[in-house]
Structure 1
Amino acid sequence: MIAFAAAMWGLIAFFVKGLTTAGFSAMEIVAIRVVTAAVILILVGLANYRNHLRIKVKDLYLFIGTGIFSIVFFNWSYFTAINLMNIPIAVALLYTSPAFVAILSFFFLKEKINRKKLMAIILTVIGCTLAAGITGQGGTSFSVISLLIGLGAGFGYALYSIFGKVALRSYHPFTVTLYTFIVASGALLPTTGIVSKAAVIFTGDIWLYALGLGIFPTVLAYFAYSWGLERTESSTAAVVATLEPVVATILGMMVYGDRLGGMQLLGSALIIISVVSINISIPIRKQKKPFTV
């Protein structure tokens, strides 16, 4: 389910490109994404999940964590980093998230960092760096602020796994997904000005892109991720989720004719290897007991 969520996230560029062509800014697209998702989830909840619509006021901070500190903050940091630097560097910094998840999970969720998990995280960071097309050549440098904002995207991305894991101890995956996007919508609606463009969204094919963005890489993806997160460690889930750039790369090749270099293929292979290795348990052969009468 986590891998399925990553695959859905990998399709996001298709919908974003359509909305960008229609004239929407990056943060307006984020607002469209979370508001559309919130509306869909409310309707689904009223139809099928009425028993999972209530939360305790004292737990609201968890959904502020997943909705604002994660969804809103990481999107702002990510798009700002893209403007300050470039897409490959921003992508690489975003996918430092498994390292952040491992560290935060160690301190707050008491999850252990074993050698296999540590190696998977290292391979993931290296793989994402190579997949993003960064080879260390060219001499391009960036300000400390821009690098910190880029790392902020990875940190914000990681917070969903932390706050979400705690929320899932008390709530159904649907409840966590629903209130994440309700809170995120409450933060973005008054700050992005997307309400003034509401009429534009329902013209031509724009509403199809908006609806698709709300369903596939958002509702389905976050529900699947929350469902999987409930059943595995946060640090493991974060590594599996890095399949997203691999899927995005395949989408770029098949739909938009993008070409990959050898380093990018190597990076994608390292990501897949890290995801597979962290999910395979090698059985230990037990010593046979001596025969006794």
Structure 2
Amino acid sequence: MFAGYALVAAAALLWGFIGPLSKFAFQAGMSPLEVAFWRAMMAWVLYAVHAWRLSRMKVDACDLPWVAGFGVVCIFGLFASYVLAVRAGGAALASVLLYTAPAWVALLAWKILKERLTPVTVAAVAVTILGVAGVSLGDGANGAAGAGGSMNLAAIALGLLSGITYALYYIFGKAFLNRYATPTVFLYALPVGGACMLPFFSFEPHPLSAWAACVALAVCCTYGAYSLYYAGLRRIEASRAAVIATLEPVVSALLAFSFFGERFTALGYAGSALILTAVIMTIVAARR
């Protein structure tokens, strides 16, 4: 069991590097959407090899529109909104707002999948809203907010959008794609998401540091992190794995502070704590 916890913790550690690595690529002159594109397409190579080795490369024709929709909404939507949130508000703020996803899952599952909203789930959604308000009124992370430290509405909106598109992973998976292995879905969805990003940037030469950041994002933070996470899930309960995964925003915040000097105000830290508390409340309610 200890191995399962260690594997999930390692995955969360790698996910925590997404924001800081993206910022390194930005500083090297690569645009956010180009970073998202190369992350998707480099990871696609790894998933393609994985699907081929599993001999699970086929998707039924009737499911192809749903896989393509997953690529547009969840790959393009999440990868793009997250890196744009990192650029607009910093890695720490983006990672915290990404973890509004469980609240969005509860609301979307109630609306789309007709799942029941329990009192604990409703309370978790309310706590999430309070947390977002705290982060917003706390002016996000210093150095990434608007001029004079004013609240960066674009960063908040993009961070919330990343949380919504992350939540839609669950909706697509449960409603349409639960018959396929993860490498099979990503084999088809990643190129669709990558294609959606093409109109928003132009290919230009970049220094080696930018390419190194993209390779690390694809190999370590995407393919590697998901592989570790699912290996951990084979050893421990999903609810416990999800709680451990909340290490991600903590790791991202620590890295953002260490490398870029990002930090929240007291109200921002309180809001971040509320969001993570809501995540744990949602997971505990689901487990029960």
* TM-score using structure 1 length: 0.70
Deviation at 1:242, TM superposition (A): 5.8
Equivalent residue number for residue 287 of structure 1: none
Contact 1:164 1:176 (C-alpha < 8 Å) held by counterparts:
no
SS at match of 1:52: coil
**Matches of 1:76 and 1:96, distance apart in 2:** 17
**Matches of 1:5 and 1:251, distance apart in 2:** 15
**Matches of 1:126 and 1:209, distance apart in 2:** 34
Q: Residues 76 and 273 of structure 1: is their aligned pair in 2 closer, same or farther, counting only changes over 3 Å?
A: closer
**Matches of 1:65 and 1:240, distance apart in 2:** 29
Equivalent residue number for residue 191 of structure 2: 182
Which of residues 70, 76, 87 is equivalent to 2:74? 70
Q: Which shifted more, 93-102 or 20-29?
A: 93-102
* 1:123-172 Cα shifts (integer Å, max 9, x gaps): 33433543x463389996888x9987775444333222211223442111
Equivalent residue number for residue 63 of structure 2: 59
**Matches of 1:94 and 1:280, distance apart in 2:** 19
Q: Which shifted more, 269-278 or 101-110?
A: 269-278
Equivalent residue number for residue 212 of structure 1: 216
How do 1:80-229 residues align onto structure 2 when only pairs under 5 Å count? 86=89, 96-130=100-134, 132=135, 134-135=137-138, 152-188=161-197, 190-193=198-201, 196-197=203-204, 200=205, 204-222=208-226
Deviation at 1:210, TM superposition (A): 1.7
1:247 is aligned with what amino acid? V
**Matches of 1:155 and 1:271, distance apart in 2:** 14
Q: Residues 4 and 206 of structure 1: is their aligned pair in 2 closer, same or farther, counting only changes over 3 Å?
A: same
**Matches of 2:260 and 2:159, distance apart in 1:** 26
User: Could you list the runs of 5+ residues in structure 2 that have no partner in the other structure?
Assistant: 1-6, 141-147
Deviation at 1:92, TM superposition (A): 7.1
How much identity, in percent, do the aligned residues show? 31
**Matches of 1:269 and 1:147, distance apart in 2:** 16
Contact 1:4 1:221 (C-alpha < 8 Å) held by counterparts:
yes
Contact 1:22 1:206 (C-alpha < 8 Å) held by counterparts:
yes
* 1:55-82 Cα shifts (integer Å, max 9, x gaps): 1121112222321112213444556677
Contact 1:161 1:238 (C-alpha < 8 Å) held by counterparts:
no
Deviation at 1:252, TM superposition (A): 1.9
* 1:169-212 Cα shifts (integer Å, max 9, x gaps): 21112322333313212333x42455x43xx46x5343321210
Alpha-carbon RMSD across the aligned residues, in angstroms, is: 4.1
Deviation at 1:271, TM superposition (A): 3.6
Contact 2:31 2:201 (C-alpha < 8 Å) held by counterparts:
no
Q: Residues 187 and 158 of structure 1: is their aligned pair in 2 closer, same or farther, counting only changes over 3 Å?
A: same
Q: Residues 219 and 29 of structure 1: is their aligned pair in 2 closer, same or farther, counting only changes over 3 Å?
A: same
**Matches of 1:247 and 1:7, distance apart in 2:** 6
* 1:187-241 Cα shifts (integer Å, max 9, x gaps): 33x42455x43xx46x53433212101022222345566786xx869xx999886
Contact 1:242 1:271 (C-alpha < 8 Å) held by counterparts:
no
* TM-score using structure 2 length: 0.71
**Matches of 1:127 and 1:81, distance apart in 2:** 17
**Matches of 2:172 and 2:253, distance apart in 1:** 29
Alignment coverage as a number of residue pairs:
269
User: Could you list the runs of 5+ residues in structure 1 that have no partner in the other structure?
Assistant: 285-293
